[in-house]
Structure 1
Amino acid sequence: MTPQEMLPYVSLVLGLIALLGHAKGYFSSGEKTLIAQVDANEKKLVEHDRRIQAIEGELKHLPDRETAHKLELALANISGRLDTLDERLKPIAATSGRLQEFLLEQAQK
């Protein structure tokens, strides 16, 4: 075969290669956007993972349900003790009131 006879076949093969290159670029353009979206979602996932880890670290320091219940019971106990203390202090308050009145009467004489 002479170069003149091979020229149409070579140009046909080169044309097909060019068409296949354009088709691959056209069809892979969607893949590029998908890869970009996956990368963006992966960055968000890493950011959310860091935030969740920070929140979990802070939650370890907070009281749990049992501790909160114990605190409630202790506060109720303290409240009851304050009520009984108030009842015990009423006679002392009355005595101090009478003493103050007596001292005011003595000061006026």
Structure 2
Amino acid sequence: MTTSEIYQYLGLALAVIALLGHAKGYFSSGEKTLLARIDKAEAKVEKVETKLVEYDRRIQSIEGEIKHLPDRETTHRMELAMTEISGKLNVMAERLKPIEAIGERLQETLMERAR
């Protein structure tokens, strides 16, 4: 093999290496953008996880408070009891009217005697 042939093969090898380097750079540029997108997505996932934990705590506190509140049936029973009490108060008011009238008459009598 002569030196000119060696230079030709060497030039060809260098050209192939250069082409492979360019191809690697071309194909890895997409990988860099993918890695950047993955990093952004991971940051968003961390924010979402933080929000989920925060919402979970809020829901747990609300559920704890709701357990202490009366349910529908209890509220209905309370309404019925209040209606019954209101009726009894109206009956008592009717029964007290004669006593009120007696008190007014006594006051009028005492005022007439005081004159």
Per the alignment, residue 50 of structure 2 pairs with: 43
Match of residue 101 from structure 1: 108
Q: Aligned pairs, how many?
A: 106
1:63 to 70, 91, 94: 70
**Residues 51-107 of structure 1, C-alpha deviation per residue, up to 9 Å, x if partnerless?**
111100011111111111111011101100000000100010010111001101111
Unpaired runs of 5+ residues, structure 1, are none
Alignment of 1:1-109 (within 5 A): 8=14, 12=18, 15=21, 19=25, 21-108=28-115
Radius of gyration: which is bigger? 2
Structure 1 range deviating more: 90-99 or 29-38? 29-38
TM-score (structure 2 length as normaliser): 0.77
SS for the counterpart of 1:63 is coil
> 5+ unaligned residues in a row in structure 2: which ranges?
1-9
